[in-house]
Amino acid sequence: MGAVVIGLVTGCGNTVTPAAAVPPSATPAAPSDGANDDDAPPIVTPPNGTVVSILFERGRLARKSDQVEVGRGSTVLLAVSTDVADEIHLHGYERVAPTKPGERAVLEFTADRSGVYTAELERSGVSLLVVTVP
């Protein structure tokens, strides 16, 4: 089970860009990391891409790891299922996607910059994942 980092957030003050809609593709996504998405439509892996499923319920992450490395230039979909209304914020890329209890939110970005980036539930201040782009 991944580590959960909880802290106080007073607002990051950065300008953010809403995440784009999920693009169509014919390749099925990798299996979920425990997310209960039985009613949600399947997510498909984009060409040259990665899908990372994240489940956050009752204040805990259900991931085996809180880090992922993705290839530079790849398309990444962060598929987050949660029981809280919040927003996913990918720091460094300044992308956001709203979350609603019982629904899966998808934040898409192109990993076009090397570095280490944190995805968090912005208002809750919970770190969901650290994304490394070599």
Q: What mean pLDDT comes out for the span 12-26?
A: 42
Q: What mean pLDDT comes out for the span 27-52?
A: 65
5-133: what CATH class? mainly beta
d(CA 11, CA 63): 26
CA distances from 69 to 14, 34, 45, 66, 122 (A): 24, 19, 16, 11, 22
Instruction: Give per-residue pLDDT as tens, 49-101.
Output: 999 999 999 999 987 778 999 999 999 999 999 999 999 999 999 999 999 99
Arithmetic mean of pLDDT over the chain: 78
Residue-range domain boundaries for the chain = 5-133
**CB 33 within 8 Å of CB 54:** yes
**CB 111 within 8 Å of CB 63:** no
